[in-house]
Amino acid sequence: MYKNLSLILVLSLLLTACGKPEKDPDCLIETKELCITKISKSYNIGGNYWEGAKELCGGAQNLPKATDLTKIAALVYEGEPRFPADELKTGLKPTESFKYFDLNKTGSFMIFSEETEQAKKYVYIRNFYKSQTDWKSIDSTAGSDVVTVCIKH
């Protein structure tokens, strides 16, 4: 009897230890630090592309923060580069993941952040080029080529 109980206990421990955590079904791309739920071309609301991005994601809180955009850089460039969120990083080599974000197939892309200035007239974006990435602000009405990426926090 004890032999059967110990066998059941060992098997249940093995099954529990072998279980993998479930992948979040909302995530298109998931890492241990990031859950991307949507990647989309932007559209505008009243001429404002950042407002369109907010609507696509269900609010500014679901747009990436500057630190999230550096985590995306770790996905799209080899060697998982780490750098301050508001800085330029050069000498990079894109991975296969680069193409998932390059929706216009131009070899570069920009992603909206949740951050704005001057009453939401200017929005911050991160540019992603083949060998570098940088952080800058643009007029929110000039974002027709900016990619909307939604994040689950």
Q: Which residue has the tokens 């974002």?
A: 143
User: Please, where are the H alpha helices in the chain?
Assistant: 2-18, 49-57, 66-76, 98-101
Residue 71 within any structural domain of the chain:
yes
Identify the pLDDT of residue 8.
Answer: 37
Predicted structure pTM score = 0.82
Give the tens place of pLDDT for each residue, 125-136: 999 999 999 999
Instruction: Show the domain range for 50.
Output: 27-151
Q: How confident is the model at residue 21 (pLDDT cuts 50, 70, 90)?
A: low
Report the percentage of the chain scoring pLDDT > 90: 66
* Position 19 pLDDT exceeds 60: no
Identify the pLDDT of residue 108.
Answer: 95
Number of domains in the chain: 1
Tokens of 74: 């770790």
Residue 14 within any structural domain of the chain:
no
d(CA 121, CA 114): 13
Identify the pLDDT of residue 24.
Answer: 84
Mean pLDDT of the chain: 85
Residue 15 within any structural domain of the chain:
no
Through-space distance between the first and last CA atoms of the chain, rounded to whole angstroms: 49
Identify the pLDDT of residue 128.
Answer: 97
Give the tens place of pLDDT for each residue, 45-103: 999 999 999 999 999 999 999 999 999 999 999 998 888 888 999 999 999 999 999 99
Closest CA to 48 of 120, 110, 114, 135: 120
Residue 13 within any structural domain of the chain:
no
Residue 127 within any structural domain of the chain:
yes
Residue 92 within any structural domain of the chain:
yes
Residue 66 within any structural domain of the chain:
yes
Residue 133 within any structural domain of the chain:
yes
What's the CA angle centered on 153, arms 41 and 61, to 5 degrees?
Answer: 60
The secondary structure of the chain in percent helix, strand, coil, rounded to multiples of 5, reads 30, 30, 40
Strand 132-139 with 35-41, pairing: unpaired
